[in-house]
Amino acid sequence: MTSTAASAAPLTDGLDHFLDKSHGKPGFTADVEPALRVSPGTGARIGFETNDEVYAQLHEHKDMAKLTAQLNPVTGPLYVEGAQPGDALAVTIHEIRLKDHGWSVSLPGVGALRERMGSDMFTRQVPIDEDGVHVTDRHALAPAPMIGCIGTAPAQGSHSTVMPSYAQGGNMDLTECRPGTTVYLPVMTEGAYLSIGDIHAIMAEGESSFVAIEAEGVAIISVDLVKGLALRAPRVETETEWIFVGLGDPVQDSIQRGYEDAFDFLVDTHGFTTGDAYALLSATGHSRLGGPTGSTAPDPLHPMAPVGAVTTHRLPKSILIP
């Protein structure tokens, strides 16, 4: 479900807890005081408000040097009682409520279309109303809101909210992180320290522009804890599929790791023989490139140039028969 409104009241209706955007942080870390502590498995609905002030400033100034807002902040962190290293969080996305506009931005030198867009910064405020997301004067597209940046804290230090993506999540930019899905994230530190940011009103797979149609909003989630589920990368459960995230450099390593996790899921979790798992993956396991943020930290001299790859590997639930 998606609601669009300029006022604050509808954004917080029906929530058990609300973390406003003042809790925005520049990284995923456990080295801060939690914004909220919750017990898992209660079904409590928690709203995370995200912040797109950086795009408003880019629209105003057309100059990265004049930015005072955080780039891609994440709201949180949420401390989950009982979460310990070796567990996994199960984060169910119930709803994303959008505000009344979003942004399309071209950062010079960034994204797959950087050669076509040239050296001038392009920005556009994109109205969002009951007719849709007004990407152009002639195109009001149906909203397809998703969470671009979701993850838990590393065991030590801080992880970027821009790039790369990590085993604990991060700026994965997966269209599947949308209402109706559950995102499974490894826990690396006591309490997990979940943070969420970077809502998109709509985004094509692969995110050619690197920023999609960014939009402030409220992501409404509930959280559960899966004890002893030691994941080496995030996975996403939809109504019809299991999706395994592969992270690696080069892209072939990312693809191999994602397929290995899908294979192990069939054999170790569901009791398939190795032969059956191998054959079924060949027949039904689709692989795609994920977001454009890479799996390895970029060169410090080129901080917006991704290294490695994020890939997704899909298993239809229909094959998981007893």
Rounded to whole angstroms, the Cα distance separating 274 from 281 reads 11
What pLDDT is stored for residue 9 in this prediction?
Answer: 64
123 bridge partner residues: 105
φ, ψ of residue 66 to 5 degrees: the values are -95, 5
pTM over 0.85? The answer is yes
What pLDDT is stored for residue 3 in this prediction?
Answer: 46
Q: Which two tokens stand for residue 149?
A: 């940046």
What pLDDT is stored for residue 116 in this prediction?
Answer: 93
Q: Tell me if residue 307 falls in helix, strand or coil.
A: strand
Tokens 């009103």, residue located: 201
Contact predicate 241/255, CB 8 Å: no
The tens place of each residue's pLDDT in the chain, 322 residues long, gives 444 444 566 899 999 999 999 999 999 999 999 999 999 999 999 999 999 999 999 999 999 999 999 999 999 999 999 999 999 999 999 999 999 999 999 999 999 999 999 999 999 999 999 999 999 999 999 999 999 999 999 999 999 999 999 999 999 999 999 999 999 999 999 999 999 999 999 999 989 888 899 999 999 999 999 999 999 999 999 999 999 999 999 999 999 999 999 999 999 999 999 999 999 999 999 999 999 999 999 999 989 999 999 999 999 999 998 6
Q: Which of 107, 289, 135 is nearest to 202 (CA)?
A: 135
What pLDDT is stored for residue 100 in this prediction?
Answer: 96
What pLDDT is stored for residue 105 in this prediction?
Answer: 96
166 bridge partner residues: 169
Q: Which two tokens stand for residue 264?
A: 């192990």
Where helices occur in 30-122 by DSSP H, the ranges are 53-61, 114-117
Q: Which two tokens stand for residue 294?
A: 């890479």
Rounded to whole angstroms, the Cα distance separating 231 from 268 reads 13
Contact predicate 148/177, CB 8 Å: yes
Q: Tell me if residue 121 falls in helix, strand or coil.
A: coil
Q: Which two tokens stand for residue 70?
A: 């955080």
Q: DSSP state, 57?
A: H
Strands (E), 130-212: 132-136, 139-141, 146-151, 158-160, 169-170, 182-186, 194-202
Rounded to whole angstroms, the Cα distance separating 100 from 66 reads 25
What pLDDT is stored for residue 8 in this prediction?
Answer: 61
What pLDDT is stored for residue 321 in this prediction?
Answer: 81
